[in-house]
Structure 1
Amino acid sequence: MLVLPLFLIFLNFVNSLKILTLLPHAGKSHFVAYESILRELANKGHEVHVYSEFPQKVPLPRYKDFVLEKVHQNSTEIINMKDLPGEFWTQHIILQLLAQFAQKACQKLDQKIVKDLLKSMEKYDLILIEYFNTDCFLGFAHIFKIPFIALSSSYPMPWYASRFSRIDNPAFVPVLFGNFAKHMSFSERLQNTIMLGYCKSMYYLLYDVPGNRRAKAFFGDDLPPLEKIAENTSLMLVNNHVTLNGAFPQVPGMIEVGGVHLRNPENLPKNIEKWINESSEGVVYFSMGSMLIGHSFPIKKREMFQRAFSRLKHRVLWKWENDTMPGKPDNVMTQKWMPQFDILCHPNVKAFVAHGGLLGMTEAVHCGVPVVVMPQFGDQFTNARALEASGGGVILDFSTITEDNVYEALQKVLNPKFKKQAEELSARFKDRPMSPMDTAIYWIEYVARHKGAPHLKTAAVGMPFYQYLLLDVIAFLLVVFLSICLVSYYTLKMLLKCVYPAKVKKTKTN
């Protein structure tokens, strides 16, 4: 009777993997996007070693934290809304800001815990590593000589498409930092094309060159260029989904797992549940996420929202980090922290006012709640346009908001017809052959089973640009065409001389 259980235990032991996870970026929202995958891998019997700034609050079997020290005092996840919007948040400055984040991440190579990893004799089966703004930790894949999988917490950054030969034609593929939907006018396609080239150029100058320099200093001068190492990426798990982000050309090595961080809703705190349940018209939830300080709203804009909310029959839950809110209407309840996903999935929550962060947008779509989106920076504009195009929300320009357009936007999404659209989007989002988590775990184990799964890469990976764009073929065909034209021209000229010699001679004389 004990034979079968012992055999299953032995089989699980044999198939378990030892996985190294490298997440040097200091953004908590990025870590949240991957955390559920790492925990599930540990629950399934794999040994997971995680290098990040975010250790588990409660130790988890087979999950081992290696805590990276914070390089700077100010978190990258906290931004004062009084700085938004404005010239400071142009795309150029955002790219420079990401370059600063990349520099801070690369500085963590000098920490003792990372140096110990390099010197260690640990034998890993697989590496999970974030693809965001720097590759300086990618040298571990070269040193350890094992397969590695990229993790993307958002729609892929514009500089990573070439690693998988994913088509990023700016005619219909919006650049992540733009403010375009997939159907673009001529001027938008022009801007999108310029922005794509600009982003890739800036990546090379501000991210790739410094990252290679830092990596060579740490791993040794014989380290290949990081871009060359990256060509061996087995696949990328991307935190998006076609129903929300739109349909674009895809390759086998890029797997969509949007919603992988979602779980089953839990019971709400009693005070919040009471506030929601006792609202006869329903509740509007308002949060600017973990990165933007809600109470740093410019006073005039805050008052616009307060007046608009006071005109509603609905109650409002407002994530507000201060103890008090001057001028708070009676139908508004504030709290420093709120269980966002659990609130959104409550049947009496009718709308969500948000900043367009991908995790929050995904939660709203999953719960079937329409959104009023006020994008601020980064990928939030792209997320907002995608949500609007899919019928899940409307966009408000934060820089030009008034009491009236806030109220009008709320009235639009609170309309039962809009709620139906959001529910239909939710149904499409959930309708998949496998859950996001099962998909992620399957492909991680697949790569390990098939020794990196090199067959997932297209032949275009690593191909010189002139070959990829067929410039050499076009040049050859042009030469052939011109040669035929020249041969035809001189042949015809000779024939004319033979047939009409006198006429040709007379023409020359004249």
Structure 2
Amino acid sequence: MRPSLLYCAAILALSNYVHSARILGLFPHTGKSHQMVFEPLLRKLAERGHHVTVASFFPLKNPPANYTDISFEGIATLGLESFDLNWYENPDIILRLPMIGRLVKQLNDFHPLAGMALKVCSKAVDWPPLSEALEKDYDVVFVENFNSDCMLGLLHVHGINAPVIALLSSNLMPWSADRIGVTDNPSYVPVISTDYHSRMPFWERMGNTFLKIYHKLWFRYLVQVKEQEIIEKHFGRKIPDLEDLGRNISLMMLNTYHALNGPAPLVPGLLEVGGMHLDPTRKVIPEVCYFMFVKYKCP
């Protein structure tokens, strides 16, 4: 048989031979809206033949064949994104002040996230289903980059050296940019908790700079340091600084798109994947008729 024919035969014989990856997903946040962004990606990976293990507060009702759920239910109360409208309709006197009120509100928006992260971390370090899953080998790990780095510490404790991909259901958090080496200059990159845009006047730049510094210090000393203490106390040994472990991620994926969120500096390791959670199935849009500004179904 001629070499060319031999090569063709080998290619045809191996055309159905593929390597599936062992994927671990760690999502310790209790917010349903966050998991709704990540869930389609994880489901699709399982449907394409990869072995996916996901630890979250929201296990799938009908998971694919290669999909394994590790439920965090019972560790903390689920956050179904409810809001107290009195915060907006009957604000305190301080919140009514034009500049100061806006800053105070933006600071308060982050405060509950620290308590939520520490509560989950304190129980996750000794959660049997999670501990059992972390004893296995994986080819890649997905971790949500939001209000906690506890999962990064647990990955190190259990000796998992697989590449880590960080997922965000929103724009960059104030502590995310340093991990991937992207510029987040506060003079034109708004902090996520603000409603600023890239063309900020001087006073907005001042406020944006203050918020960026404050949020970084808040995350460092009210979340990272305390989570590290929880992990080290439970396992009885020192681990690398969680801030350093956060810089070991290989890729960061943002639920943003520059046409909607505005242009921002990017690096090869930072990908915009805005809309990946949307259902691509075409749907029939019902025909609607208007008569004298009144909408009704067409006959």
What is the aligned partner in structure 2 of residue 29 from structure 1?
33
Where do 1:282-321 residues align within 5 Å? 313-315=293-295
The structure 1 residue matched to 2:276, chosen from 215, 238, 260, is 260
Q: Is the 1:141–1:148 contact (alpha carbons within 8 Å) kept by the matching residues of 2? A: no
Q: Is the 2:143–2:167 contact (alpha carbons within 8 Å) kept by the matching residues of 1? A: yes
1:280 equivalent in alignment to 2:290: yes
The structure 1 residue matched to 2:259, chosen from 216, 230, 243, is 243
Quick one: distance in 2 between partners of 1:47 and 1:74? 27
Q: Is the 2:26–2:56 contact (alpha carbons within 8 Å) kept by the matching residues of 1? A: yes
1:207 equivalent in alignment to 2:187: no
The structure 1 residue matched to 2:209, chosen from 180, 193, 206, is 193
1:7 equivalent in alignment to 2:30: no
1:80 equivalent in alignment to 2:81: no
The structure 1 residue matched to 2:53, chosen from 46, 49, 52, is 49
Quick one: distance in 2 between partners of 1:261 and 1:212? 32
1:129 equivalent in alignment to 2:136: no
1:95 equivalent in alignment to 2:99: no
TM-score by length of 2: 0.83
Quick one: distance in 1 between partners of 2:268 and 2:235? 31
Secondary structure of 1:80's match?
coil
Shift of 1:101: 2.2
Secondary structure of 1:34's match?
helix
How far does the alpha carbon of each residue in 1:276-326 deviate from its partner, in whole angstroms, 9 at most, with x for none?
A: 645426xxxxxxxxxxxxxxxxxxxxxxxxxxxxxx9244xxxxxxxxxxx
Higher relative contact order (CA 8 A, sep 6+): 2
Quick one: distance in 2 between partners of 1:149 and 1:59? 22
Shift of 1:105: 2.7
One-letter amino acid of the counterpart of residue 64, structure 2: L
Shift of 1:69: 1.6
Q: Is the 1:141–1:147 contact (alpha carbons within 8 Å) kept by the matching residues of 2? A: no
One-letter amino acid of the counterpart of residue 54, structure 2: V
Q: Is the 1:128–1:151 contact (alpha carbons within 8 Å) kept by the matching residues of 2? A: yes
Secondary structure of 2:68's match?
strand
How far does the alpha carbon of each residue in 1:325-359 deviate from its partner, in whole angstroms, 9 at most, with x for none?
A: xxxxxx8xxxxxxxxxxxxxxxx9xxxxxxxxxxx
Quick one: distance in 1 between partners of 2:289 and 2:43? 37
> Which region of structure 1 is more displaced relative to structure 2, 228-237 or 76-85?
76-85
Shift of 1:152: 0.7
Shift of 1:70: 3.4
Shift of 1:83: 3.6
What is the aligned partner in structure 1 of residue 6 from structure 2?
none
Q: Is the 2:154–2:231 contact (alpha carbons within 8 Å) kept by the matching residues of 1? A: no
1:176 equivalent in alignment to 2:192: yes
Quick one: distance in 1 between partners of 2:201 and 2:86? 32
User: What value does the CA root-mean-square deviation take over the aligned residues?
Assistant: 2.5
Quick one: distance in 2 between partners of 1:38 and 1:260? 11
What is the aligned partner in structure 1 of residue 4 from structure 2?
none
1:20 equivalent in alignment to 2:30: no
Larger Rg: 1 or 2?
1
Q: Is the 2:165–2:252 contact (alpha carbons within 8 Å) kept by the matching residues of 1? A: yes
Secondary structure of 1:92's match?
helix
The structure 2 residue matched to 1:62, chosen from 28, 53, 66, is 66
One-letter amino acid of the counterpart of residue 110, structure 2: L
Quick one: distance in 2 between partners of 1:232 and 1:24? 19
For structure 1, which runs of at least 5 residues remain unmatched after alignment? 282-311, 316-330, 332-347, 349-510
What is the aligned partner in structure 2 of residue 286 from structure 1?
none
One-letter amino acid of the counterpart of residue 209, structure 1: V
What is the aligned partner in structure 2 of residue 232 from structure 1?
248
Q: Is the 1:166–1:251 contact (alpha carbons within 8 Å) kept by the matching residues of 2? A: yes
One-letter amino acid of the counterpart of residue 107, structure 2: H
Shift of 1:259: 0.8
Identical-pair percentage: 35
Where do 1:374-389 residues align within 5 Å? none
Shift of 1:38: 0.6
Change (3 A) 1:224 1:40: same
Q: Is the 2:36–2:277 contact (alpha carbons within 8 Å) kept by the matching residues of 1? A: yes
Quick one: distance in 2 between partners of 1:252 and 1:90? 34
Quick one: distance in 2 between partners of 1:106 and 1:314? 53
One-letter amino acid of the counterpart of residue 167, structure 1: T
For structure 2, which runs of at least 5 residues remain unmatched after alignment? 1-8, 96-103
Q: Is the 1:22–1:137 contact (alpha carbons within 8 Å) kept by the matching residues of 2? A: yes
Quick one: distance in 1 between partners of 2:235 and 2:13? 43
Secondary structure of 1:197's match?
helix
Change (3 A) 1:141 1:147: farther
Q: Is the 1:137–1:215 contact (alpha carbons within 8 Å) kept by the matching residues of 2? A: no
The size of the alignment, in residue pairs, is: 275
Q: Which has the higher helix share?
A: 1
Secondary structure of 1:144's match?
coil
One-letter amino acid of the counterpart of residue 280, structure 1: Y
1:160 equivalent in alignment to 2:176: yes
TM-score by length of 1: 0.50
